Amino acid sequence: MSSEAARLLGLLAEPDRLKVVAAIVLGSRTVDQIVAATELEPKVVEHALARLTSGGLVTGDRRSLAVDSEELRAAVRSAAEEREAGEKL
């Protein structure tokens, strides 16, 4: 597994961060909407968003959040290229 894919999986490995990403993917765009969708405490959502944005998986600000799908595609591409290189050896 590529280090990029491992990094993104690490971001998603924590249940609260995974819930936050799922809420965003399903349409939540603000902190208040994420809190309502996940039933997590606002402080927990804020902490998860801080990690997700610093990790590059979530973009935007408190009023306009989105999952960076290009970041996900890049990780998948990197893992696929690493796998193909290993198979050629």
pLDDT attached to residue 23: 98
pLDDT attached to residue 28: 98
Which is higher by pLDDT, 27 or 83?
A: 27
Beta strands in 1-89 (DSSP E): 58-61, 64-67
Instruction: Give the pLDDT mean for 63-68.
Output: 94
> How much is the pTM?
0.84
Instruction: Give the pLDDT mean for 41-60.
Output: 96
CB atoms within 10 A of CB 65: 22
Structure tokens at 52: 């997700």
In whole angstroms, give the CA distance from residue 62 to residue 46.
9
HSE-CB at 63 with a 13 A cutoff on CA atoms is: 0
